[in-house]
Amino acid sequence: MNQEQVEYTWLDGRETITLTELSRCCEMSVAELDELVDYCALVPLPAQAPERVFSAEWVAPLRAADKLRLDFDLDLFTVAILLGNLNRIEMLERQIQQLQALLPVRLRSGLNQQASSFSLT
C-alpha cells in the first residue's frame, strides 16, 4: 500500500492506528505522544492490545498541532491545549453545518455570502 492510500485510510475515523503508526504519520516521537496522553489531550481507545491504539481521527489534528508547534516553537503542554481547541473548533464547525442543513435553501445561500465576507483569507 503506498503512502497516499495509507493516509486516506487513516483519515477515516472508523479506522484505528497504533501509537507507533501515529508517531510515524504525525512526525512526533512516541514519548511526545505519551506526554499528550498524560495531559489527557490525546485519548487512546480502550483495547487489550500490547500497544496503545487510537482512532484515526487524531491524525489530522495532530499534524496541524505539530505544524503549529514547529512554526511557533511551542512546548508540548501548549500543544495539548492547542489540540483541545482544534478539536473543539472542528466540532463547532460540524454543528454549524448540521444546523445550516436544516435551513431552507434561500436562507442558506444568504449565510454563505455573509460568511465569505467575514473570511480572513
Question: Does residue 118 fall inside a structural domain?
Answer: no
DSSP labels, the chain: --HHHHHHHHTSTTSEEEHHHHHHHHT--HHHHHHHHHTTSS-PBP--SSS-EEEGGGHHHHHHHHHHHHHHT--HHHHHHHHHHHHHHHHHHHHHHHHHHHS-HHHHHHHHHHHHHT---
Question: Does residue 103 fall inside a structural domain?
Answer: yes
Question: Does residue 37 fall inside a structural domain?
Answer: yes
What is the residue whose three cell numbers read 490525546? 42
The string of pLDDT tens digits covering residues 4-46 is 555 555 567 688 899 999 999 999 999 999 999 999 999 999 9
Number of domains in the chain: 1
Q: What is the pLDDT of residue 104?
A: 87
Q: Is pLDDT larger for residue 42 or for residue 105? A: 42
Question: Does residue 55 fall inside a structural domain?
Answer: yes
Q: Is pLDDT larger for residue 109 or for residue 46? A: 46
Question: Does residue 119 fall inside a structural domain?
Answer: no
pTM above 0.85, yes or no: no
Q: Flag whether pLDDT at 1 surpasses 50.
A: no
Residue 67 structural domain: 3-113
Q: Mean pLDDT, to the nearest integer, of 106-112? A: 74
Question: Does residue 62 fall inside a structural domain?
Answer: yes
Residues near 37 by beta carbon (within 8 Å), at least 6 away in sequence:
43, 44, 52
Dihedral (CA of 20, 57, 52, 86) sign: positive
CATH number at residue 88: 1.10.1660.10
Q: What is the pLDDT of residue 74?
A: 97
